[in-house]
Structures are given as C-alpha cells and as structure tokens.
Amino acid sequence: MEAGFKVRIDKAVASIRAKSKSTPKLGVILGSGLSGIVDSIEGTEISYKDIEGFPVSTVHGHKGSLKIADNIIVFAGRFHFYEGYKMDDVVMPITLMKELGVEKVLLTNAAGGVNYTFEPGDLAFIIDQVNLQGTNPLIGPNNDSMGPRFPDMSEPYNKEMLDEASRIARKVLPHRTMKYGVYAGFTGPSYETPAEIRMVRAFGGDLVGMSTVPECIVANYLGMKVCGISCVTNLAAGLGHAKLDHKEVIETSKLVEKDMIGLVSGLIEYWS
C-alpha cells in the first residue's frame, strides 16, 4: 500500500461520520446487477461522490453508493483493477469497513461457471480463491498498525461463516441447491479465453471473475472474517456456444436477484 493511504482512509471515515455515527459489525460488497439489494436495507445512503478521496465506480450495474445502519454497511458497487484504479482504490471499501468497526465481510460477485455442473442462475459459496491478477494489494511499504507484513491466507474464506451461511441458505432458499467452489480472479476487462478456462479447471477452479480476490486478501490482512457468494451469470468461454457479453451478466443477475436478496437478507439478520 502506498504511503499516505491511511490518511485517505481517515478522510473518507470523517466524510461518513459527518452523516452517520453508526458502528457496523458486518460489511457487504455487492457485485454486478445486485445493487438492488441495498434498497431492502434501512439506513443512511451516501453517494461515493460525497466521500472525500473515495473512487467512483464506472461499471454498468454498480450503483455507486453505500448504505450504513447500526449493524451493517453495504457497498452497492465496487472498484476494479481493469478500470484503471490502483489496488489501493480497489480495496479502499474493505479498509474503510475496518476503520468503521466491521468484523465480518460478505463479498458477492457475478462469476462465470467453470465447473461443468454449474449453470447460469446458480448461487455458489466461495471456499477458496486463486489470484491470477498478476499483483497483490499489499505490495509496498507495510503499515504494521494495520496488519502483518506476511498475512496468513490458509483460510481466506472463514469456515465458521461458511457453515452458518450454508445453514441459513437451506432455511431461506429451500428450493435451491447451493454450489461450492474455488474462485479464480483475472484482471479483465476482456473475458477469459477457452485455453485460460481449461487452465483454471485443471488446477481446481470452479468460478472465474474480475474482482473479489484483492478484497479478500486485504480483509484477511486486517483481521476480518470473510464469506463469499458468487452468482453464476454465464458459462465460461468454451463451455457454451454464445459469445460472452456483460449484458448477459446483468440480465441473469436480475433473474436471481430475489433469491440473492433473500439469502443476503437472511445472512444480514443472522450476523448483525
């Protein structure tokens, strides 16, 4: 992380504290097409544009605001490396969560299905991840007050949270069979090639996307527990006949939005 990053975080915290004094314990980041979930939560909504030093999401399907309440903060839209942002910007929501008091993080995303048993519209819990982005958000001088120089990543997605989330899913979505998989993160913005997808499958990947991995790394670095959920919006390259299109991602996300809202709402109620 760059020198001065902590100063940026402090300014962002001050911007939020000017509008809300809440100290949430649960933080949620919503992926493409899932921003509607924020409307189901009561609290103070703040546009990213009104947070000093905060980036602004440029991707269609990302609302670009957060909502903060007594026990939860939800980011409707994230920042991607492929947008041209530095990694410090990509992980800023995670660091901001920590400074506001968050202890548990729920990451959601739209992902391509690599596993042959996954279909568009499936919801999958992330059990592990592979960093294929060619960089790491912790590269640079380390601030020992924030976290260790060499953070442990032997359990990137907390097993206790996964067990709890699986139980909640069976309760609120009895009609669904949740999937479980390893998420491989590329940089994008181009979709993966069929050869890259074969590579991912060869080393055990089940899902592929362009986000989440840096956020998970920094959350672990900061000592927060992480749970991840992917909405499988399309079959990865080489598995179907259609060309990959972000429009499909948004459309599929909308089709499963009701179930995703039900699941996330159930988890919010349990964890907050």
Residues with catalytic roles: 32, 62, 80, 82-83, 110, 210-211, 234, 246
Q: Which two tokens stand for residue 57?
A: 């999401």
Distances (CA, A) of 107 to 56, 188, 241, 248: 18, 19, 30, 21
Exposure string for 246-263, b = 16+ CB within 10 A, e = fewer: bebbbebbeebbebbbbb
User: How far is residue 83's CA from residue 98's CA, in Å, rounded to a whole number?
Assistant: 24
Residue 41, CA atoms < 13 Å, CB-side half-sphere: 32
Contact 199, 132 (CB under 8 A): no
Amino acid in the structure at residue 88: D
Give the span between the Cα atoms of 11 and 59, in whole angstroms. Answer: 25
Distance CA 121, CA 253 (A): 7
- Contact assessment for residue 106 and residue 264, using Cβ atoms and an 8 Å cutoff: yes
Distance CA 221, CA 124 (A): 24
How far apart are alpha carbons 175 and 232 in whole angstroms? 17
